[in-house]
Amino acid sequence: MDVDLTGRTAVVTGGAAGIGRASAVLLARCGARVFVGDFSESIEDPDELENLEITVSRCDVRRESEIQALIEGAVEATGRLDILVNNAGIGMVKPIDDVSEEDWLNCIDTNLKSAFFGAKHAVRHMRPLGGGAIVNMASNAGLLPRAHDPVYSISKMALVGLTKSLGLCHAKDRIRVNCVCPGPVGGTRMMNADLDAADDRGAAERAVISASPLALAYNRMIDPHEVAQAVLYLVSDAAMMVSGTAIAIDGGKSLGVPPAVQTH
Ligand code: NAD
């Protein structure tokens, strides 16, 4: 997609790795000044981020004060905020019996509360500019809940709801709020952690691919860059009339029950 974001400032949370990193890189390649916040000090290929003049700061999105500081740092440096990508997230594969209050808070605070408070501080700076774009990284689990990760599914379904609610509230400010619903995305720390935890990694990978009709047809997972393209579209002027939507980049996983896998 040919998009020029020159002169625009973007904040991307969870940009040290995976989808957030791919999104930060793509926005920067399109000309945006990008500020990444992540609580991990392990940044994938930091040289590439430095070459693109992407500023990386430590930020735990579970704390409002840290998201506020990330956003205000970007505004202090550039005088504006045009784009916020609330991408940081964690998985939580546990049945209800095993979920502690701490697990619940960790998952909901990371995946949901962070996006609400990120939006709160972004809106303050976008409103005076006459508009802006917020993209929340939800999941196919935000469109169809899954049996193996109820807390994660709840967090992502609520994130889709938050997207619609804030899209409705801030259209008058010309602030667009949308979400992307990926899955399954290969090469991410989240996916690798799930596969590494399986007894048979190969079988687990085949099962993940088989649950998504297009992933199965291409015999591969979705690439983080393919998700980043949806982020780029949603923050671009091409999406000027798009708000409150949830774009599934999930190879059709949320469409329903896929056809049975051929075993011969
Ligand atoms: P990832 O683990 O590679 O990247 C997530 C990043 O978020 C990491 O850099 C991590 O350090 C950061 N992070 C986590 N908690 C944080 C916190 N409290 N404060 C700041 N940073 C924090 O995984 P990913 O797949 O790139 O995940 C990005 C988003 O995509 C998440 O919201 C995830 O739920 C969503 N998602 C991923 C998949 C998938 O298959 N990988 C599918 C659907 C949705």
User: Considering the chain, what is the average pLDDT of its residues?
Assistant: 96
pLDDT in the model for residue 16: 98
Can you give the length of the chain in residues?
A: 264
8 Å CB contact between 34 and 85? no
**For a substitution probing ligand 1, which of 185, 192, 196, 212 has the most ligand atoms within 8 Å of its CB?**
185
Local confidence band at 262 (pLDDT 50, 70, 90 cut-offs):
low
How far is the CA of 65 from the CAs of 7, 21, 126, 144, 195, in angstroms?
Answer: 26, 22, 18, 32, 34
Question: In terms of Cα–Cα distance, which of 132, 128, 119, 35 is closest to 83?
Answer: 132
Q: What integer pLDDT is reported at residue 263 of this predicted model?
A: 55
Cβ 228 under 6 angstroms from ligand 1? no
For residue 184, say if its preceding peptide bond is cis, omega within 30 degrees of 0: yes
Q: Do the beta carbons of residue 31 and residue 9 sit within 8 Å?
A: no
Residue 152 a catalytic site member:
yes
pLDDT at 160 over 70: yes
* pLDDT over 70, % of the chain: 98
**pLDDT above 90: residue 175:** yes
Which atom of ligand 1 lies nearest, measured to the CA of 185? 40
User: Per-domain residue ranges for the chain?
Assistant: 9-183+223-248, 186-221
> What phi, psi does 83 have (nearest 5°)?
-135, 135
Catalytic residue among 89, 118, 152, 183: 152
Each residue's pLDDT tens digit, 33-74: 999 999 999 999 999 999 999 999 999 999 999 999 999 999
pTM above 0.95, yes or no: yes
Helix 101-108 vs helix 150-170: crossing angle, to nearest 10:
40
- Give the model's confidence band at 259: pLDDT under 50 very low, under 70 low, under 90 confident, else very high: confident
pLDDT, tens only, 177-192: 999 999 999 999 999 9
State the distance from the centre of ligand 1 to the C-alpha of 38, rounded, in angstroms. 10
* Fold for the domain defined by 9-183+223-248: Rossmann fold (3.40.50)
Q: Supply 107's token pair.
A: 């998952």
